[in-house]
Amino acid sequence: MNNLSFLIDRFKSRQATIGIIGLGYVGLPLMLRFSSAGFRVVGIDIDQNKVDKLNAGETYIEHIPSENIRAAGQRGFEATNDFSRSQEADALIICVPTPLNNHREPDISFIIRTVNSLLPYLHNRQIVSLESTTYPGTTEEELLPRIEANGLKVGQDIFLVYSPEREDPGNPNFTTQTIPKVIGGHTTDCLQAGIALYKSAIDVIVPVSSTRVAEMSKLLENIHRAVNIGLVNEMKIVCDRMGIDIYEVIRSAATKPFGFTPYYPGPGLGGHCIPIDPFYLTWKAREYGVTTRFIELAGEVNTNMPRWVIGKVIEALNGQGLALKGSRVLVLGIAYKKNVADMRESPAVELMEMLQEKGAEIDYSDPYFPQFPKMRQYHFDLSSVTLSPEVVAGYDLILLVTNHDLFDYDMLQKNARLIVDTRGVYQDPAENVVKA
């Protein structure tokens, strides 16, 4: 039996062990899916705190219940920081971060370090799948030569695929199992191995002709959103100057049953994909002598939104005879999107820093973050404020940044002196609500 047939049989029979490297917002749901599909899963993460929590049956992601972790443990799941355990796996799925560096250029150091840590333990009859979002060419330019320099022939001894993650944290309408899975292989046999791996746990498989196509498809998905959000953010500014409610415009346009998809403005982009992924393509495109002007313009619009919001805050306070310096401002919601405990690239943090730099006295309220978490770039020694009519009335301005469902918006409007609403929560005009 050749190596490909051996692997396919292992996946079909559920005898395979799945190794997942990186147990965050992508890796952890993937672990749970493969575990519930009947596979033994070994999870590898360099964060000892995560490893200890998972092995104790505890979660560290708000929308993933601890009972799901405990159930996976009962089915044989183990977490470890020992990369030598990767040799037990038939499949190794890499789900590590791909941020930007200080120059807004791709930082794939997490991928490189992970692959280098795996190299001593790779062997025949394994498949390696990269899921981290990255620029087209990463799989073949960075992973392939490292693996083959280790003495293994990709496509014969070992198999290599790229299959981009498509998680949407906190969205109850889609799960790891039901979101279609794009897969590109380095060779035809690599693709077949990838299909066999993922179809054992995912409902719909979307094979493509190469790893580069799969890498580019992920970037297009998120650039599509970034560009359209940039468009509607620019429309918001135009509508504001004209005295038109952008949210009413969007609602009316969305009644068209064809040719229009509603996107909504906000205080800036957040999350691990949309603020970052476009820069992966613009950086790589320069290698080919291409300037991605359209993408870069959308990025410029979206990046400037926090400054525009601060302008609306200053304008709102001025209307009450107040300066921003010395005013008490409560930032409502610091997660990057509603109903999740995730602050990656949250525009709320940049807004807090800008408010503080301009002399405002700031607090925040977010039920998902009782304490302001430690972050690489920002830190505030603050705890979440518990909202009550008296507390709300004590602030000069409430800046609504993240519209969690847990907030009592009627109570806020009744008691706040001023609200600057960046999310279109308040549809009806009100004297104490300014839309931004």
Tell me: the pLDDT tens digits for 293-310? 999 999 899 999 999 999
Query: Would strands 181-185 and 158-162 be described as parallel, antiparallel, or unpaired?
Result: antiparallel
Question: Would residue 351 be called left, alpha or beta, if left means φ above 0 and alpha means ψ between -120 and 50 degrees?
Answer: alpha
Query: Are 202 and 299 part of one and the same domain?
Result: no
Residue 61: its pLDDT value, please? 87
pLDDT of the chain along its 436 residues, tens only? 799 999 999 999 999 999 999 999 999 999 999 999 999 999 999 999 999 999 999 999 888 999 999 999 999 999 999 999 999 999 999 999 998 887 778 999 999 999 999 999 999 999 999 999 999 999 999 999 999 998 999 999 999 999 999 988 778 889 999 999 999 999 999 999 999 999 999 999 999 999 999 999 999 999 999 999 999 999 999 999 999 999 999 999 999 999 999 999 999 987 667 778 888 899 999 999 999 999 999 989 999 999 999 999 999 999 999 999 999 999 999 999 999 888 888 999 999 999 999 999 999 999 999 999 887 677 799 999 999 999 999 999 999 999 999 999 999 999 999 999 999 999 998 999 999 9
Residues identified as active-site: 273
Output the CA–CA distances (angstroms, integers) from residue 295 to 99, 101, 280, in the order listed. Answer: 18, 19, 11
Query: Are 200 and 239 part of one and the same domain?
Result: no
Query: Are 272 and 156 part of one and the same domain?
Result: no
> 301 in helix, strand or coil?
helix
Query: Are 182 and 256 part of one and the same domain?
Result: no
Residue 274: its pLDDT value, please? 73
- Examine the fold and report which residue of 209, 244, 261 is the final residue of a domain before the chain moves on: 209
Residue 152 phi/psi, 5-degree rounding, is -105, 135
Q: pLDDT tens digit string along 345-362?
A: 899 999 999 999 999 999
Query: Are 257 and 174 part of one and the same domain?
Result: no
What CATH number corresponds to the domain at position 70?
3.40.50.720
Query: Are 187 and 295 part of one and the same domain?
Result: no
* CA 428 to chain CA mean position, Å: 32
Residue 277: its pLDDT value, please? 82
Output the CA–CA distances (angstroms, integers) from residue 184 to 18, 116, 316, 350, in the order listed. Answer: 19, 22, 51, 37
Query: Are 252 and 315 part of one and the same domain?
Result: yes
Q: Is the alpha carbon torsion for 53, 276, 201, 209 positive or negative?
A: negative
Structural domain boundaries enclosing 301:
229-435
Residue 35: its pLDDT value, please? 97
Residue 272: its pLDDT value, please? 67
Q: Are 185 and 191 in contact (CB under 8 A)?
A: yes
Query: Are 199 and 243 part of one and the same domain?
Result: no
